[in-house]
Structure 1
């Protein structure tokens, strides 16, 4: 049996081995070490802090490990939610595979309880609510965490965060080939996880949640201490020890710890039972001070001098060396707090972004040191806060949605028009899961005896409900619908996963039938259409297929390393494939046309308007390309950090007049607006008050000369002149 710990197994030597770079990331310090590998604090090329988990070499020798690791990462990238840090990047093919997630400067629940004491009932309820919200997001994409424990829960200013998706595995993933390899931690593992990991499902995470609540309330697990075998035996055979758990919570915790998975409450029932909670109940004076120190340390790391490509050199007179900088920043955290971030303001300014890029053609726009402030909004309205929400235009309605909620707002006034609540077929056993706006339809899926594709119009009315998946031979359940990639008029291209892997289906929206279905090699796939051809990316390969028959017309192989998650788009004549570069192919036969904007890290998805393509890189530069030959029409370096986005989020929002992109929320929440014709930076809007400390990037949609923007709490409309 393998378990994970947070020990210091020759931490100094481990840190020395990885001082420098891993992939595109600058490594600062070792954060922790466990059975699977080591976790380092590192910085991305866009000055974003990440927690970088490097897998131990012995695991890479296990047959099939890299494929399983890649599948875990594929699924984990889809997890979105306020209570889970985003999975940003990974490389399953590196000598030592690694996984990068957003860094959260906060202590673990284990450290909080050990340093500041057990939690009272209001704090326990706040903790339980955060954990339940995180599990909902994890389970929604077909993952089971399998190792929920106090060390994998971080306590922040605004609630708990569940970390370590490098240990999560898709429910349909194959088991480890090692016969003694069970993922989990004694004292927090469900009985079925101990006796047979093949039977582990979402209910196992509910059991672990109950164990975590007992630890937070009492300082110990519900099955006592001792050797691992003894603790595991108690978890399977003995009743939990709940003395010290508040009386009001004891029945709920006992239900979570039922030996039978079917006897445990679902996560939604847990949320309802815990009731409305206030995350601030988790904060004690000692914890507030601890968080302040960690945040100061994180600010210093963001501003640290870059790691040199060659051996480090000592700074000249008056210029502190990197070694000195890191000593100040990492000496127990207190030195960083004592130094004070404002006192280092001369050193923490952003790099000079006014220098011209020397690569490529087109106009180079020199941005002002400080962009102009934006116009006053035409209107603003309160916005329902969603987890990982998205914003799109659907007719004259702005639709704001996450997986569980979809709300329509009037574009003229910002007034709420409707909250989506479609009637679902009688055999459906789940609430609709919202997949997003494509074309003239808001899509959702509902799951039961069959998997359904639902479509709503801009008034929130149900347009159709089509059964598109059924249990296949040898399977008890229909495939889950995960994505609607494209709406090509009367045909939708959808992605699904199930017991037999991932598939792409083409659905005739008029007839309500599946035209064709094709299995893909993994979850690194994407589909798009120009109305005639379906472009299907499967790993490192792209196929051009007849949209209605699925017949393959052409294939281009080995375009990129599988796991890159490229984006597909088209101007009607050329297919654009965007990963670490933009590659164009003739849509009719797949012939290579051109390559542009080659970068060391992933680019944003590409937005196409007419014969122009717009894309942003990881160095805060926006490009406009001519889709006919790939030439740069202009590129502009933003003086403010752009949100890095991901393959699951849109690229620049563009009209014939304007280009808008969100800013990196941890530094400068808001968005920037450029002139589409020549890339001139027109203005920037940055949040103030509570919006200045927002955790999520703003959402933007451009229509003509109007910019619709959503913070976490407010929806705006701005009218922008284009001088």
Structure 2
């Protein structure tokens, strides 16, 4: 579509056709400092491009502020903001491109639909508190949080427009006597001492935003900005219309002195005690008949309303689950299927399997690590290994282990349960029906442990690999692996070999060695370009993540096929930090820190789709070809359509209510035929139907 002409006072007479490599398609809105356009990258990715007005582009001071805006936005890009894709502050017309986020601004939503209901308000406040925590963690103060700078995306609110934000280490300071901000949402200190504004000012703005969302007006209301400024500094806020459950918390945010306001973490803890229905899941705005706005990083323009359906994020309410019992406390969610004797997997029909949840170890906190095998879930938590019936979550057996010794999920190998844990220097294997020890062996100290087929591989501190028979505990072989001073093996159930990888010192090459775990024989050995991490094996090919040499961010996916000795590399549009990945066929699903999920088709050599999930740091994803599943640190299990990247379902929050901490990472979910099993920080192990995420 050709760029649209913008009309009105101060608008550009003719919009440019490109900003860098981004073709401008339409104007999303115009502000005092620039115009925001909907644009597309060369690969077709939608972005919102902010281009500075020509008159400001000639102002050196403004260019400095724009450079600061880009720097601030780059620091906080992630789950709660619009990620910066590209920028050129030095261009003739400075510009910045961020990911396009469909959804109305909070201002536009309230204008069209009226005040939010209490449940929506709690989700909004929790989302904004998380966003401010993320922003403040990297030393940035937003300083202009207001309804028009909050986008209501399917997966939660996003904070945008860092035009007057200020990193703590910035050299650019507010000029004496100049007020910067929007009066109805400014804190008292922004009027009294603007050079000393800190993170607490954003908390004050959050309180004002919440009043607007609850009532359609601000806590200090007047047509005159001068009167509003006086009210902010001297008067008490008007909270008429704010739900009673939230009013005390909003009032704390609106305290006159910065030190009297809560921090984002304190807000999130307080919100958990406000009501049992508090959750941090997708925000789905209620809409009246008519058009619903869609927006990027600017005020939205009307478009035909999309009907809710399969592609709409499913909001679920997190309930407080009280679990009791000595061995286990189980709640069947409407009944469960049964596992017939002799079967190796759940065989209940989809129509009858409605899931379950259990707390097998009520004492203690933390997510269990589980695997599936021998017609049961085999799990471990600090101090104990246990088996669960996959049909209903019943505890089948328990076995104590050293509290700090569990390093990986226990697995079934050689017909026995291998706890993947040492008590001192003792290795043991358990009977899968009773949990009793079948054999125990004393071992030398070692750095790494891996199970492959019927073999346990132990890498000693000198680099020697000792192989042990998983069924008997007897030694099988012992030697070093050439080219790997301290090998750590990766194994995959569908592949009989194990693989050791070792990047060169300059990260230009990675040595990959395939080893037969039964004999220790090297089957093949080669060097591939770049610093690579093996993530999966599928269809006879190995799949790797490639990372850059400077920041160690994942910037490409690599496929190597031993039978043809061919290598294929697909670069990512944007580097991702701390990526976890899954392989299904020739498609790789990557989940980075900050919640960026994307699918890369190695055959077509392109990215299929991209989704910002708002999950700070998720688990390893898994896919059944129809959906992609992963677990969030708050215990939610999320499902994304594997074909188009839409969020299609998620379970309630399962986070330890007594703790103010959120887990940094979680074990990934497990797929067993049509059933999906996951674990949560509150100790819960639960099962759902993998075929119908919308029903979770």
Using the size of structure 2 for normalisation, the TM-score is 0.49
Where is the helix percentage greater, Structure 1 or Structure 2?
Answer: 1
In our comparison, the structure showing a higher alpha carbon Rg is: 2
